[in-house]
Structure 1
Amino acid sequence: MEILWILIAFICGLLAVQVSLPPLVGFLAAGFVLNLIGVEENDLLRQLADVGITLLLFTIGLKLRLADLVKTEVWAGGLVHISLWCVVVVSSLLLAGFLSAPLVGDLSPLGTSLVAFALGFSSTVCVVKLLEDSGELRTRHGKLALSILVVQDIVAVVFLAIAAGETPSVYAPLLILLIFTAPLLKSLLNRAGHDEMLPLAGFLLALGGYQLFELCGVKGDLGALVIGMMLSGHSKANELSKSLLSFKDIFLIAFFLSIGLAALPTLETFAIAVVILGLLVLKFMIFIGVFAILRLRARTIFLSALALTNYSEFGLIVAYISNQAGWLSSQWLMIIAVASAMSFVVTSTLYPRAHSLYQQHKEKLKEWETKRHLPEDIFDWPREVEILVIGLGRVGRGAFSALYERVGSRAWGMDAKAELVMRLQASGMHVFTGDGENADLWEAVDTEQIKLVLLALPSIKDAASILKQLRAAGFQGAIAGIARYEDDRQALLEAGVDHVFNFFTEAGVGFAEDSLALVKSQSRASGSMAR
């Protein structure tokens, strides 16, 4: 029977990809297909789904920076939005129930609240995929959207912990001592290397955190999130997240299949799902209003709101848990599942056009801006910049130091990481904080004085995104970049970079020339000794 799950999931996922939809839309459809042909959910599928959810929370924790979450626009934006959404949707459902709308009138007050709550989340899987594909994970709006998602996920995890209905044991307060194990966990990650031991370490840490919290009477998913957060600042956190990506996605397929196996949508439930899909307009407008009140810039407001305007796999998890607890009927689980799948289609269709949509409505959207911007959105640009190095990792710092020795204060470095910039400034380097992927930054500065930009970034997508923003702002100077592989080099050249330094090829040439010089010097020394 397991091969049938895989076959149907593959076929439906492949069909979804062919029409430019997220594969998870196909996986939800696969669950319905399996249900239709008489396949029933079993313990194996439930266990695989649980592992998928645990890995999802662990990888979210790996990307979580507390410094981002404590920003007012993040925690207030996430909490205020979901609160307003729940008030409006609960009111709408109660009104529909009073008017005897099909199925809505059967909802209990608790069920009504749970439906609104489940629909309040945005899809981590869908949003991350869209931002990755567009190279916008590190942009101002991308980081804001991801941080809002984490706030929503924390709210969901708290709900899951409460929904478990378990009283924490007397040992639960001791979990706070986990903070002192962070050095040990990071040392374990260092020793795991880079190959198959790294994802295995990830499984150990995620499932170990899950089991530890379960033993203390606390929802295990919260343990996976906490352990991930403890490792979020580690140098290998991003590598670990990438190594677990395929495993997480595979296990989550079981979760989406289990949703479809719970029940089949009827014409009536499908019609209600379409009506709920229309509420996305309301969700978008609430995001716009909340972000505007929190003094964000118009571009950030629009792009973040558009990315977050969908329903969530976490909402499905909330609905699924509520259904298992007997608080929500299988029909409403199906309605939320169908509405979520359709919302993924809407977002996947609209977001690739987000920047052109913003340009079309830019003047109206600017009216939502307040006169006072957040400190992060005020750009302090040095006046004498002629050569700019973007990205101050090891390569970027090396390039900047070499340029500074030759041209002095005309060379400046820029990086989006404020903590790194502060350290480099303390050592006397001419650097400043700035996000090259933020189009508002380039619109706010005069790029005519800049003659050369060096894109010293490890991500080709990030470099291509900055290049696009520079050209859109009218930059006419020269642009150089770095690449590790030949296909990356070609991609940057095709994107419009004037010169690309290939790490391996050009470093290899330099290594060979230095080695030959060593041979020549030894030959001269031998000849001298012979004489």
Structure 2
Amino acid sequence: MEPAVLLITLACGFVMSRFGFPPLVGYLGAGFILYTLEIDENTLPLLEKIADIGVYLLLFAIGLRLDLKSLVKPEVLVTSGVHMFSFVIISLSILKIFAFLGFSQIAGLNENQLLLLAFALSFSSTVFAVKTLDDKGEMVSLYGQIAIGILIIQDLFAVVFLTFSKGELPSIYAFALLLLPFLRPLIHAIFDRVGHGDLLVLFGLVMTLVFGAFLFEKAGLKPDLGALVMGILLSGHTKTQELTKSIFYFKELFLVTFFLTIGLKGLPTTEDLVLAVLLTLVLPIKWLIFLTILTRFRIRARTAFLSSSALMTYSEFGLIVCSVASLNGWLPEQLIIVLAVSLALSFLFASPLNQVSEQMYQYLHPFLAFIEHNKAKSEDTPIRIGHPRFLILGMGRIGTGAYDALKKNFGNVVVGIEHKPELVARHHRQKRRVILGDASDTDFWHKLEPNENIEHILLTMSRHHGNLLAFEQLKGSSYEGKVSAIALYQEEISHLSKMKIDQVYDIYESAGVGFVNSMISEIQRNKPPTKKKTLLKKYYTRKKVKKRKED
């Protein structure tokens, strides 16, 4: 049975990836296929536990990268509340229409039950959004931070509901968890001493599953919240990035089972499927509400558009809300299947749209410019970069190394572009000329003043997707100089080469060459004088001594 599960999951994920869809869409399909083979959640009880671990690790990873200040910004806090209220009211009206049309699943529901279902539909998927942002390398972009902030506020609403749905308050021991921030120095001290290998991975898992999920669950709180809090406590440490990378593949693997379990909840009837499709058609309304509210906070149209696109799904937390409501007798069990199918369809709907979101933004730009807040136009002032010869897009470690090497050899004729504000501030402190901007943003290139001095542009962003988008913008501009790019995998090298990029550098191969060149320089610098030179030195020394004696 287990081999069949693995093979079907791999096959579905592979097929979807070949058609340009994220593999997670295939995993959802694999769940439905497995259910038709009479494999369900009860057949594989361990699968649910693994799926939970995947969600915990996901929230832990969010916490590691979370900027708490972003949660209290009006565009995050107010948008979350206003959107939830607005969408609940609108979807309540739509559900009443569906009930009037005779859908048996909701025809017999009263006002309060419909309101509860509308509340469950108002959530957006944390798993989908974070996975999509992570794959695109946009977790720390402005629109990514706004989307994640909104999702966390939504998750807190879900936590409040689930807490009160138990009919009991959290344990008295929950108040002891308020002391956790005071333990941060101790936790960071342990973090300093766990090394870099398997012990670091184990430390991350223990912090997530034991001190996070298990501890919070015992205190009567949501384990998901515990994983998030532990991630926040570890954020800001010098080894945070390393820990994030160390647990990355664990998180990815365990999340596969999460998408599988959605499909394993059961197959819908024809009526369930029709209702789920109709609910999926409501998603553009959810997107439009997010877009409208965000632009009222003077967020640029592109940022609002991309944030709204990442949030245009139904949520696993909404499914949990519906499941708890069903257990308490507040909603019929059949609605869980409807919501599970709606969730799967929303992923199928949103996945391809998020893959081409930048192209969609360019197509819809006239409409989006119309709804953009007038004062947002103040950001459209031209960006002046002076007259550099070299432009580096992406000022991480590789970009920084390239910047320093070019400056050393050619002088102060280099400018870097970086979309992380904290990284830009650090470069400014270190006297580098770095400008805040997103090279994959079409608006950035429109605001950038034309510059004929630039001879060479280096694409050094950590994500292949970001380098591709930046090169697409360059192709549409008047730039005629050379372009170089970095790549991590062979397929990325092939892809970039086919796009006619002048030079593509394999990171690992280039690192090896640089390492050996550095070693050769060191050997030559410390090379002892030859025997011939030593004898000559002795001869001239004796001659000088003899001359002094004669004098």
User: Normalised by the shorter chain, which TM-score bucket?
Assistant: 0.7 to 0.9
Matched residues in 1 for 2:190 and 2:460: separation? Answer: 30
The equivalent position to 2:515 in structure 1, one of 499, 502, 508, is 508
Say if 2:520 is the partner of 1:517: no
Task: Find the counterpart in structure 1 of residue 546 from structure 2.
Answer: none
Q: CA deviation at 1:341?
A: 1.3
Tell whether the 8 Å contact from 2:459 to 2:486 is kept in structure 1 after alignment.
yes
Alignment of 1:300-339 (within 5 A): 300-339=303-342
Matching residue's letter, 2:364: H
Report the counterpart of residue 92 of structure 2 in structure 1.
90
Counterpart selection for 2:186 from 175, 184, 187: 184
C-alpha spacing 1:206/1:274, structure 2 compared with 1 (3 Å): same
**Higher deviation after alignment, 87-96 or 24-33:** 24-33
Q: SS where residue 412 of structure 1 aligns?
A: strand
Distance in structure 2 (CA, Å) of the matches to 1:484 and 1:44? 35
Q: Distance in 2 between matches of 1:69 and 1:128?
A: 16
- State the Cα distance separating 1:190 from its structure 2 match: 4.1
For residue 513 of structure 1, give the secondary structure of its aligned residue in structure 2.
helix
Aligned residue number for residue 369 of structure 2: 366
Q: Which aligned pairs between 1:109-188 and structure 2 lie closer than 5 A?
A: 109-134=111-136, 136-137=138-139, 139-188=141-190
Q: Determine which of 470, 474, 478 is the counterpart of 2:474.
A: 470
Q: Quick one: which amino acid aligns to residue 246 of structure 2? A: S
Once residues 492 and 388 of structure 1 are traced to their aligned partners in structure 2, the CA distance between those partners, rounded to angstroms, is 19
Amino acid corresponding to residue 270 of structure 2 in structure 1 = L
Residue-by-residue CA offset, 1:238-272 (whole Å, 9 max, x unaligned) = 44334334433443444444444444311111111
1:136, 1:437 within 8 Å by CA — same for their partners in 2?
Answer: no
CA shift at 1:227, angstroms? Answer: 0.4
Select between 384-393 and 219-228 the one with higher mean Cα deviation: 384-393
Shift of the alpha carbon at 1:207?
A: 0.8
Aligned length: 531
CA apart distance, 1:146: 3.8
Q: Is the 8 A contact 1:270 1:335 kept in 2?
A: yes
| Aligned counterparts of 2:65 and 2:96: Cα–Cα separation in 1 | 38
Q: Decide whether the 8 Å contact of 1:110 with 1:327 is kept in 2.
A: no
Whether 2:229 is the aligned partner of 1:222: answer no
Distance between the aligned counterparts of 1:481 and 1:27, measured in 2?
A: 32
Compared CA separation, residues 254 and 87, structure 1 to 2 (3 A): same
For structure 2, which runs of at least 5 residues remain unmatched after alignment? 540-551
Letter of the 1:362 counterpart: H
- What's the TM-score once normalised by structure 1's chain length? 0.86
Q: Partners of 2:346 and 2:165 in 1: how far apart?
A: 26
Q: How does 1:27-426 map to 2 (within 5 A)?
A: 27-39=27-39, 41-42=41-42, 43-97=45-99, 100-134=102-136, 136-137=138-139, 139-208=141-210, 209-373=212-376, 381-401=384-404, 403-404=406-407, 410-426=413-429
Distance 1:407 1:217 in 2: 62
Does the aligned pair in 1 maintain the 2:208–2:230 contact within 8 Å?
yes
Q: Give the equivalent residue in structure 1 for 2:544.
A: none
Structure 1 range deviating more: 382-391 or 84-93: 382-391
User: Cα 1:277–1:481, aligned 2, differ >3 Å: closer, same or farther?
Assistant: closer
Distance between the aligned counterparts of 1:259 and 1:485, measured in 2? 32
Instruction: Note if contact 2:103-2:271 (Cα within 8 Å) is conserved in structure 1.
Output: no
Letter in 2 for 1:463: N
- AA partner of residue 99 (structure 2): G
Q: In structure 2, do the counterparts of structure 1 residues 229 and 161 end up closer, same or farther at CA, with 3 Å as the change threshold?
A: farther
1:488: how far off?
6.0
- Paired residues of 2:137 and 2:462 also in contact (CA < 8 A): no
Offset from partner CA, 1:78-101 (integer Å, 9 cap, x none): 332222111111222234435654
In 1, the alpha carbon distance for the partners of 2:488 and 2:35 equals: 47
User: Which has the larger Rg?
Assistant: 2
Q: Is the 8 A contact 2:136 2:463 kept in 1?
A: no
Report the Cα offset of residue 131 of structure 1.
4.1
Asked if 1 retains the 8 angstrom alpha-carbon contact of 2:216 and 2:226, the reply is yes
Q: One-letter code of the match for 1:81?
A: H
Contact 1:388 1:454 in 2 (8 A): yes
Q: Deviations over 1:11-32 (max 9, x none)?
A: 5545554554444444444444
Given that residues 385 and 449 in structure 1 are in contact (C-alpha distance below 8 angstroms), is that contact kept between their aligned partners in structure 2? no
Change (3 A) 1:271 1:512: same
